[in-house]
Amino acid sequence: MSYQNLLLDHAADGISRITLNRPQQHNSLCPATLEELDQAFSTLGQCRQTRVIVLTGAGDKAFAAGGDVARMRQASPLQARAIALLAARLFERIETLPKVVLAAINGYALGGGCELALACDLRLAADHAQLGQPEINLGIFPGWGGTQRLPRLIGVSRAKRLMFTGERVSAQEALNIGLVDEVVPSAQLLDRTEELARQLADKPQTALAFIKQAVHNGMEMDRDRAIRYEAELFGLCFSHPDRAEGMAAFFDKRPPCWLRTEG
């Protein structure tokens, strides 16, 4: 399908890129953009050629500067709830997608933009990026999953402080508190993100998908149940050709040749 607010690029090396493409609006997340993102991730989730997805924003000012406040200003309570549920569906799709999703945060990631980044597996930030949940300054709060994902990532107290105050943090501070995984000079952000994407695209894809599944679902279970669930997935690995290949390569002292599903 064609997209009005996104650019979707397929790479020959198993990496696909989604670019939020509303630079004049700082890539803000209107409902139409959320719908397009949901469709794009659904499509790439089923794409046999895609092994890793990079998500970024157009321009050098913003990854996504938040929800579209001009539109939200007119929203009724029911409309606001519907938008929050739309975002929840999208972010759940990203978290459960059987592909690794990397966020290349090329500028502001605020409000809903920060919540979008939180749903990704790993976050790399340009050195000029700023992140935060400033919704409190609009008389609302992070309603697109931020109150749940942010404390799980950086701890309850730090998350509350960011949400209570609406303060933005620099890329370096975001790295210090675990909000992002790497800070990169702005000009090198996409190259470094795609370098990491290529590294992950060369890993066994079933095992990567099981890691995502074990972490995402296990976080919602008590520890004993989560460990049993992990053991089930671990056992399933032994039914996959990649396990036999990986162990054979280990003993043969050669690089493994993982099963590729494309074609």
Residues tagged active-site: 115, 135
Residue 258 has which token pair? 């993982």
Query: Pairing between strand 122-126 and 182-184?
Result: parallel
Q: Which residues pair with 105 in a beta bridge?
A: 125
User: Looking up tokens 């671990």, which residue turns up?
Assistant: 234
What residues contact 146, with CB distance under 8 A and at least 6 apart? 114, 115, 118, 133, 135, 163
How far, in Å, CA of 168 to CA of 134, rounded?
Answer: 7
- Give the 3-state secondary structure of residue 1: coil
Put residue 111 in one of left, alpha, beta given phi > 0 → left and psi -120 to 50 → alpha. Answer: left
Residue 253 has which token pair? 């002292």
Element (H, E) at 130: strand 130-132
Q: How many Cα atoms within 13 Å fall on the side-chain side of residue 259?
A: 12
